Structure 1
Amino acid sequence: MNSAALASSATAAHTEIEIQINGQAISCTNNESLLGIAKRVGIEIPHLCYQDGMPAAGNCRACMVEVNGERTLAASCCRHASAGMQVTTNSPRALKAQKMVLELMLADAPPKENQTDGSTNELQYWAQQAGLLATRFTPRPSQARDQSHPAIHVNLDACILCTLCVRACREVQVNDVIGLAFRGSDSKIVFDMDDALGASTCVACGECVQACPTGALLPANPKAQQLPDQKVDSLCPYCGVGCQLTYHVKDKQIIAVEGRDGPANHARLCVKGRYGFDYAHHPQRLTVPLIRRSDVPKSADLEMDPENILDVFREASWDEALSFAAGKLVTLRDQHGKKSLAGFGSAKGSNEEAYLFQKLVRIGFGSNNVDHCTRLCHASSVAALLEGVGSGSVSNPIMDVALAEVVIVIGANPSVNHPVGASWIKNAVKQGSKLIVCDPRRSDMARLAHEFLQFNPDTDVALLNAMMHVIIQEDLIDHTFIAKRTSGFEAIKQHLLDYPPELMAAICGVPADTIREVARLYASAKTAMIFWGMGVSQHIHGTDNVRCLIALALMTGQIGRPGTGLHPLRGQNNVQGASDAGLIPMMFPDYQRVSEPANIIKFEELWQLTPGSLDTQPGLTVVEIMHAIVQKEAQGKIHGMYIMGENPAMSDPDVNQARVSLAALEHLVVQDIFLTETACFADVILPASAFPEKTGSFTNTDRTVQLGRQALAPPGDARQDLWIIQQIAQRMGLSWNYPHVSAVFEEMRLCMPSIAGISWQRLERDGAVTYPCLHEDDVGEAVVFTQRFPTKDGLAKFVAAGLISADEQPDADYPMVLITGRQLEHWHTGSMTRRASVLDALEPDPVALIHSDDLLALQISAGDIVTLSSRRGTVSLYARADNSSPRGAVFVPFCYYEAAINKLTNSALDPFGKIPEFKYCAVKLTAGGEFPKQGSFGGGQALLS
């Protein structure tokens, strides 16, 4: 169990008692430490090796107290309360011991000119509290400082060997980088095999820095060590885990970030959350509206010199820019019809922004041609989940992994994509859960796995069907659950007869005995969870892959209880909320289908429209919109677009074609914070607000609605996204006026039953509420499907899946497989993280991860330039030896504009989720190639120095 689950279960198992501390009677439980009780009631005891959420070590001995009737002093962090205990924290004996320990430690503190202030140095704080101004003891020999890491500086002169950093690294985050080496007076903290921190395997989560009480580990940026003018509680703007954090603001800039005790992270952060904040202050922020010069055609942007890209635009006032943006959209709508316009919203924006954006497209544009990046990540997961269990959301939160006996992680690399979520999985493994990792690539999680199934790319269904074959043949199914809560089992049972492990092993590459063992392990566990990522969903058979995962959970009854269930890990910070809010072409908010007459009536009444105003046909999806721009037929052709915070010129498959489509638009409005590759094709660019510059609600992968609070003002003349959307709406003839973000949220509650019980006041008070939350007294349901599924008959549905190969297979001309994805330090198309100084310093260059045997066969050395080619394009980048990828497969992150790997990917779609096949296409790898001039495409990121 993780610490939260342990605390919960322990509290239930222990009884209330009463003790005395310094003569004060205190009620507590007998599993509480004396230090914890004292802190709770406001009694200060010095402590340097203790931190909430970590097991007590008791090695600094600064927290010694006197217990009545005992000869020796007790370390209050390790000593638990017992009934009738009398404790004195300030007796002469206890104070003398505390002061002696602090004086000894003070001897090893660095000289005053190198010290941090008392706000970040707990040793100095406690020494001052004890009245210690100097020490009588001789310090240890000075050690060389380590400034090899872009994020963290090491000064072991300040180290007191409290081991908080060791425990933070090994027990909390389970990264296993920091250790305690040597013995006696030679003991010291080391990184890996006593490497420099910058040369170690450190992933820069910063948990050690947050834990360090003396400044031995510090942020490399000296500004981060200063006292802030203001602290603002908010959220991380990156992945879907939804970590809560606190911005430290000084002189109107964020100088540091610390984790806080949110439901998803309990103060933990990753490298992006902790160090990826200064993009908001980057000099390339858009600060004034821009309009394209009339003498520069958009087709020229395809070969634009990045140094001259700004010459394409001229500055404009907000009134001119908004009138031009909205006026041209109205003209095109009236000239070509309501279906001639489309909008891409953003999963990086708030729920309120997503809601207003889709409302604008449906009312102002007059069609359902609205979509966002969920189409490119988990659309197939949502399609299969809605079909099978009636809901596209996760069934259980990540934290439920603490209660799972068996955990399957398939097609996901949470250590890279969801690092804090991964830490909870790793904690569960340390507490005894059995981890099964299934993936074509060997991720970091595999080192902790009970079984690692490295199946052949594109063979998910073969592996999963074989597992279900075993479960049925060996009668490991949950007969009661199947009979009472599902439909369609007999049909899938018959279907699975054709998928024995011995036959499927030849296809998926996993031995039949291993398939059988894993199937038995999952089916026989009292509780088991399945997590998956885009390695499952980004295929033309992505929906089939998820159908198999659903069937696996249903036939074993591993759903609807704590510690069980299905959890597609969401990639962006608000991809769940944006989908919930209706930013998808076939659904109104809360997944109410646009084709259902009752839903049409409901939203026409809510939005005060005349009957027949809303489009009753599903709109086009992301890739379909790109195709519709360049189609020859007038009917269905897209002539104008409004894109908010998305970057399809980098994120779409076959981006060469996507860029041609963007250039072909008659009118493109882009709302963003940087001059992205997509913005380069715009006719008008509207400078928007970055995450720390807005207040709004965001929904994480656990279905928890959380409040992000504004910490900064937008720079220059940039404006809030909600204001911009409303201004466009008003200039298109809609009389919208939402005076505050809360007014939008309250309207959302009227049409979204899932969040009806979450008032804005409640959100401001509690900061986080999990849905479904049906009324204001409802605490919210973390675990769903406990009694019935949200389907018409209340039953979950088995759907069989057959073997379908990828759209494009390797051949003699293109013999290798390309797999794309993200890397730890960068996120999505890199527009934010490559402008964050620490993140860019850690991973500055585009790389292809290639098996060392493939490099050897092609006579390529790590660090050489290589060229990857598919039937759609060519990119050159640096080779990195990485045996996590199997032979014959190449992995490339898609965040590098100068090596935009989506030039190569295949735009073939899953027929159900309409998601492109990012995870599999045929490529060839050759040595050498001309590395392109930085930003040869001409995107705004090309201006990075």
Structure 2
Amino acid sequence: MELISLTIDGQTVQACKGSTVLEASREAGVTIPTLCHLADLTPEGSCRVCVVEVEGARGLVTACTYPVSEGMIVRTNTPAIREARKSVVELMLANHPQECLSCQRNIDCELQALASTFGVREIKAEGEQRQFAIDDSNPFIIRDSNKCILCGRCVRVCKEVQCCNTLEWTERGFNTKVAPAFDTDMVDSSNCVFCGTCVSACPVGALTEKPMNGVGKPDKKVKTTCPFCGVGCNYDLNIKDGKLIGVTSNLTSVVNGRLTCVKGRFGTDYVHSPERLTTPLIKKNGKFVEASWEEALDLIATKFKEIKDTYGSDALAAVSSARCVNEENYIMQKFMRAVIGTNNVDHCARICHAPTVAGLAASFGSGAMTNSINEAPQCKVIFLIGGNPTEAHPVIGAKIRQALRNGATLIVADPRRIELAGKAHVWMQLRPGTDIALINGMMRIILKAGWHDQNFINSCTTDFDKMADVIEKYTPEYVEDITGVPKHLLMEAARIYATAERASIFYTLGITEHICGTDNVMSLANLAMLTGNVGKLYSGVNPMRGQNNVQGSCDMGALPNVYSGYQAVTNAAAREKFEKAWGVKLSDKVGLMMPDMFDASIAGKLKAMYVMGEDPIRSDGDAHHVRKGFEHLEFLVVQNIFMTETGKLADVILPAASFAEKDGSFTNCERRVQRVRQAIEPIGNSRPDWQIIRDLSNKMGYPMSYSHPSEIMDEMASLSPMFAGLSFERIDEKGLQWPVPDKEHPGSQYLHVDGKFACGLGVFKAIDHQPPAELPDAEYPFMLTTGRILYHYCLTTAGYSKHLTEYRPEERAMIHPDDAKRLNIADQDYITVTSRRGTVQARAWVTTDVLPGGIWMSFHYHACPTNEVTMGCGDKVTKTYEYKVCAVKVEKTVVQ
């Protein structure tokens, strides 16, 4: 970067050519006040608070927009400058409500602070005052245009960072204000997603959050990691009087900066839900009664010992949790292996991204996102398949919109017209369950056109010929017949992806939740290797992991076949290392996957389960079968923050602490291990999960002496080569992306550098199209697909956030207008959806976003347990349920 010299307030400084006077001044330690300026937005210079004198310039200039030049002489604090700035603030205050003491932003208001700085003591309002109606039509944000100073920060942040273009200038002159299109309320705006990014940018009280659990200036702010999706946003928990009262952006957050989504900013009010579990419960005579921790843990320890002694260690199993911190997942799998003596431990990756772990490990040698989230805005080509990030991973969705704003080309393959399909250059609306055919078709077109990277194939991969032989039959015509995608769209998508210098693939559960989920993942790996789009920036295969710590739960060994760091339980050397560290003899038998646990229980082989932070009856496919599995157990322990459907069947309930009440770490989908920090004390008599497991282990005669989660991480790192460089100290500020093989390693932004795969050579897999396990027929003529919506995430917390529930209170099932008309169903009518396994009811959402013959539902609502309808069939490798395809019938609900 070329440097130039200039003088600021008599001081000679150097600045980068192309920077502004404001940037140069701040680098030199010179303070210039601003109001409309934010460092992460395009400078505008509208407020005039940052005016300075530049020798040779006509009049005062705005420092935030004026570029530096060689030899420039700048003065930032002359009497004329101070008077000009003071006048600007006085003019703003003259038409500003004089109600600072009652304003939510009192003491935290930038205009108030500037008034103090410039010595403005009194302003007499003259003339007409603005009298705009206050918009409080939604559960999240209050918009008071009377307090707006027209700085435009909210307009620019919505346009440039969130890329929603919700807010714009309306009216003129005295009546100018910022509002959604046609000056509608925010709740009626078609493109407001209530992310709160505008609130984070507002310098005054014009945009404020609705109170969460209290009001007033927080006593403290605690930076932590969001507990919802796998993006891993960081933000500040605002604490007052020991309660979480709000969430605010923390601009030091590496992953998201100021960005948040509606769940992260407004959904954490569930922490103080009156329905929180706050004391241990023991079921006596069919009813739960309160118990002490001593009594509850003694009972569990006694029962677990009895079952182990009577039936053997493999008669017990545990379900760990992607909602819990890494350290708790590590200690849970250690408890099951070292104390109970079984590898029967699994968690909810089994029902979402287990095919990612298996598929990418088979192809690349490592089962995780190859690249980083913050590469997305600079990507030139993005292929999004089987994912809906603007709802399920909203900050990644925003970064993809940023990429489009920067000129990227987007390809979308999805059975639904998701938001990004409407922005795509190519949208392929394929039939559910036909992804392999689509990918094979693209690869055949690429090969025939000579767009493949033969040098990469020759030097970095193996088994290319086997794959090439299989895809030969996938002509555009053949693929169109299977997928329903017109061949011209398939050919255009193949051309765009293959001829780009670098192209990135993003996917999620629309790829993994099929009976061929692992094959789907390996097919995408084939496509990336065919074009050399792996092992470099702005490329790769990037699974957007489901829940907040589903990556970390896998990393910690909460799986039936591996210890932490993906060290196989069947590997004698790995087993010997853990035996030495833990002081026990370990089983070499691969444990039960979650679906197998329920089958084993029904068969009488599994007698007890320990379920931490999950609700399989609501989350797993074919819920009736799962319930039956739990009902056949002799003893069930459930550890959670709320009473769940699974918990209702438990013999003992243990109240856990939420993410806000404990320390630890989460690992996001880009492999970044980040701190979770305790902000409040555990609610009631609840305890962090790691403490509960530690104390239970001690009761069972296996001593665990951890006093803090950092000690658990240290142990895990000492036993796991790929995490050897991790510690709380090293991840404290920005986190680290694994692999981190030693204490000096900076972490890994992307994997498989220059085609050097973790497994040596990347492996092409020869994969054929496989139809779904259950297709529509005369009795069940509709194809149901499930997924997430923006305003909820996980059943463990769904319904407990007052804000989110108020805005989206019930299930809405998407159905095509042609089908709705044929069945005499109107929008908002109640409909009954029935499969071979169960029946649910929901309101109809009549929309062309789904294919004729298709129906789409989420699984967020307790009143509409969609998984009572879905199937128990799963991926042949990982047994992940096929949530994305099942046959149902739809009827208009008859109101009695």
CA contact (8 A) 2:322 2:548 kept: yes
| Equivalences for residues 509-528 of structure 1 within 5 A | 509-528=484-503
Residues in 1 aligned to 2:707 and 2:684: alpha-carbon distance in whole angstroms: 22
2:12 alignment partner, one of 4, 13, 25: 25
Q: Aligned pair in 2 of structure 1 residues 393, 39: CA closer, same or farther (>3 Å)?
A: same
Question: 1:789, 1:836 → 2: CA distance?
Answer: 46
Which of 16, 20, 24 aligns to 2:3? It is 16
Q: Supply the AA of the counterpart residue of 1:66.
A: E
Residue identity in the other structure for 1:244: N
In terms of mean alpha carbon deviation, does 885-894 or 463-472 score higher? Answer: 885-894
Q: Which residue of 1 aligns with 2:735?
A: 768
What is the Cα deviation at residue 139 of structure 1? 4.7
Deviation at 1:203, TM superposition (A): 1.1
Matched, 1:629 2:601: yes
Q: Note closer, same or farther for the CA distance 1:390–1:56 as it changes in structure 2 (3 Å cut).
A: same
Q: 1:412 and 2:387 equivalent?
A: yes
Q: Return the letter of the residue paired with 1:271.
A: V
**1-structure distance, mates of 2:595, 2:586:** 23
Quick one: which of 550, 572, 580 aligns to 1:605? 580
Instruction: Tell whether the 8 Å contact from 1:390 to 1:789 is kept in structure 2 after alignment.
Output: no
RMSD: 1.6
Partner-residue secondary structure (3-state), 1:917 = coil
Q: 1:118·1:125 contact (CA, 8 Å) conserved in 2?
A: no
The amino acid across from 1:463 in the alignment is L
CA distance in 2, matches of 1:225, 1:111: 20
Compute the displacement of 1:767 (Å).
4.0
Offset at residue 223 of structure 1 (A): 6.7
Q: 2:378–2:406: 8 Å Cα contact kept in structure 1?
A: no
Q: How does 1:624-703 map to 2 (within 5 A)?
A: 624-632=596-604, 637-703=605-671
Matches within 5 A, 1:588-599: 588-599=563-574
Aligned partners of 1:696 and 1:709 also within 8 Å: yes
Name which of structure 1's ranges 211-220 and 18-27 shifts more when overlaid on structure 2. 18-27
2:204 aligned residue (211, 214, 217): 214
| Equivalent residue in structure 2 for 1:253, among 243, 266, 275 | 243
Greater shift in the superposed pair: 806-815 or 92-101: 92-101
State the 1:19 CA deviation: 2.8
How far does the alpha carbon of each residue in 1:823-869 deviate from its partner, in whole angstroms, 9 at most, with x for none?
1111121x324211211111111221222332222111222211100
**Alpha-carbon shift at residue 790 of structure 1 (Å):** 4.6
Instruction: Name the residue aligned to 2:452.
Output: 477
State the shift of 1:40 in Å: 4.5
Q: Give SS of 1:469's match.
A: helix
Q: Does 1:861 align with 2:826?
A: yes
- Determine whether 1:101 maps to 2:73: no
1:279 paired with 2:270, answer: yes
Q: Residue 183 of structure 1 is aligned with which of 142, 156, 172?
A: 172
Q: What TM-score comes out, normalization by structure 1 length?
A: 0.92
TM-superposed deviation, 1:569: 0.3
Q: Which amino acid in the other structure matches residue 804 of structure 1?
A: Q
Pairwise CA distance, 1:140: 4.4
3-state secondary structure, aligned to 1:909: coil
Quick one: distance in 1 between partners of 2:125 and 2:32? 23
Q: Which amino acid aligns with 1:732?
A: M
Deviations 1:761-797 (A, max 9, x none): 2223x341111111122111111101454555x1000
Deviates more, 1:399-408 or 1:150-159: 399-408
Equivalent residue, structure 1, for 2:227: 237
Answer yes or no: is the 8 Å Cα contact 1:810–1:816 preserved in 2: yes
SS in 2 for 1:725: helix
CA distance in 2, matches of 1:366, 1:789: 38
Which residue number in structure 2 is paired with residue 288 of structure 1?
279
Give the one of 100, 103, 119 matched to 1:115.
103
Q: Which residue of 2 aligns with 1:934?
A: none
TM superposition shift of 1:552: 0.3
Match of 2:681 among 713, 721, 724: 713
CA deviations over 1:425-473 (Å, ceiling 9, x no partner): 1111111111111100111112221111111111111111100000111
Cα offset, 1:225, TM superposition:
5.8
Q: Tell me the amino acid that sits aligned with residue 576 of structure 1.
A: Q
Alpha-carbon separation, structure 2, partners of 1:222 and 1:570? 28
Q: Distance in 2 between matches of 1:177 and 1:433?
A: 21
Give the Cα–Cα distance (whole angstroms) in 1 for the partners of residues 315 and 105 of structure 2. 61
Q: State the secondary structure of the residue aligned to 1:896.
A: coil
Q: Corresponding residue for 1:174?
A: 163
Hey, what does 1:848 align to over in structure 2? 813
Name which of structure 1's ranges 254-263 and 388-397 shifts more when overlaid on structure 2.
Answer: 254-263
Do the aligned partners of 2:506 and 2:544 also contact (CA within 8 Å) in 1?
Answer: yes
AA of the residue aligned to 1:232: V
Could you tell me whether the CA contact under 8 Å between 2:830 and 2:844 is conserved in 1?
A: yes
Distance in 1 of aligned mates of 2:553 and 2:769: 32
Paired amino acid for 1:492: M
CA deviations over 1:510-558 (Å, ceiling 9, x no partner): 1111111111111111110000010010000111111110000001000
Deviation at 1:746, TM superposition (A): 0.5
Q: Give the letter aligned to residue 340 of structure 1.
A: A
Residue 845 of structure 2 corresponds to 880
Distance change (3 Å), C-alpha of 1:620 and 1:139: farther
Q: Is the 8 A contact 1:328 1:667 kept in 2?
A: yes
Deviation at 1:50? Answer: 1.0
Which amino acid letter does the alignment assign opposite residue 36 of structure 1? E
Q: In structure 1, what residue type is equivalent to 2:764?
A: F
Change in CA separation of 1:614 and 1:454 when aligned onto 2, cut-off 3 Å: same
**How many angstroms apart in 1 are the aligned matches of 2:217 and 2:10?**
37
Q: Does 1:154 align with 2:120?
A: no
How far apart in 1 are the matches of 2:12 and 2:600? 74
Structure 1 residue matching 2:873: 3-state secondary structure = strand
Paired position in structure 1 for 2:415: 440
Q: Which amino acid aligns with 1:806?
A: P
Alignment of 1:348-367 (within 5 A): 348-367=323-342
* Match status 1:573 vs 2:564: no
Distance in structure 1 (CA, Å) of the matches to 2:312 and 2:757? 37
1:603-650 CA-to-partner distances (Å, cap 9, x unmatched) read 2122222xxx21212111111111111015xxxx11100011011010
- Does residue 826 (structure 1) correspond to residue 792 (structure 2)? The answer is yes
Normalising by structure 2, we get a TM-score of 0.97
Write out per-residue CA displacement over residues 899-938 of structure 1, whole angstroms, 9 at most, x where no aligned residue.
100000011011112111011100111001569xxxxxxx
Residue 91, structure 1, aligned to residue 78, structure 2? yes
**Partner of 2:508 in structure 1?**
533
Note closer, same or farther for the CA distance 1:139–1:120 as it changes in structure 2 (3 Å cut). Answer: farther
Cα distance between partner residues in 1 of 2:449 and 2:144: 59
Structure 1 residue 118, shift from structure 2 partner: 4.1
Q: Contact between 1:754 and 1:772, CA under 8 Å: does it hold in 2?
A: yes
For residues 324-370 of structure 1, the C-alpha deviation after alignment (integer angstroms, 9 at most, x for no partner) is 11210111111111111100001011111010101111122211111
Code of the aligned partner of 2:591: G
**Offset at residue 184 of structure 1 (A):** 3.5
TM-superposed CA distance for 1:117, in Å, is: 4.0
In structure 2, how many angstroms separate the alpha carbons of the residues matched to 1:193 and 1:879? 29
Segments of 5+ residues of structure 2 without an aligned counterpart are none
Q: CA deviation at 1:480?
A: 0.6
Structure 1 consecutive aligned stretches of length 4 or more whose deviation exceeds 4 Å: 222-225, 788-792
2:528 aligned with 1:562, yes or no? no
Q: Distance in 2 between matches of 1:275 and 1:38?
A: 37
2:736 and 2:671 map into 1 onto residues whose CA distance is 8
